[in-house]
Amino acid sequence: MFAPHRSHAHAYSAVHIETGVHGADPHQLITLLLDGALSAIATAFNAIERGDIPAKGRAISRAVGIVDEGLRAALDLKNGGTVATTLHDLYSCLLVRLSQANLNNDAAALRECSALLTPLRNAWLDIGPNRLAA
């Protein structure tokens, strides 16, 4: 009659994320995407270490979706200049490395992806509207 506890936790998580997205400004949305991609990459890395190939595939698919449909799709290549072009190239590289990690169960490729995204996330936080106003 009732869904398992895991479904309740998933539903709460989905509502929490959706609420965060609806109340977020554009800067916060990119932060959420970067955090989501990094989290998915970490999940995939842990799944490879455990030998859980289905979980690895799901996590990498999630990371690919975030990078491609979220981060890369948000770029304004027409007006964004070299920053947008450089980010587009970085995201394209990440997509290739994520695909290789998935095909080859390559934890090193996932570490590389995380190492590329983490400084970007930190720099993004440093230029946040609240940090610049202070």
The reply to whether 34 falls in a domain is yes
- CB-count burial class (<10 Å; 0-12, 13-18, 19+) for 82: exposed
> Per-residue confidence at 129, pLDDT binned at 50, 70, 90?
confident
Rounded to two decimals, what is the model's pTM?
0.81
Least confident of 6-20, 51-65, 113-127: 6-20
**CB atoms inside a 10 Å sphere around CB 126:** 9
Please report, for the domain that includes residue 65, its CATH number.
1.20.120.340
The reply to whether 9 falls in a domain is no
> Per-residue confidence at 26, pLDDT binned at 50, 70, 90?
confident
The reply to whether 17 falls in a domain is no
The reply to whether 95 falls in a domain is yes
SS3 assignment, position 67: helix
Rounded Cα gap, residues 99 and 121, in angstroms = 21
User: Containing domain of residue 98, as a range?
Assistant: 23-127
The count of domains in the chain is 1
* pLDDT (average), residues 37-54: 98
The reply to whether 3 falls in a domain is no
The reply to whether 15 falls in a domain is no
- What type of residue is 85? T
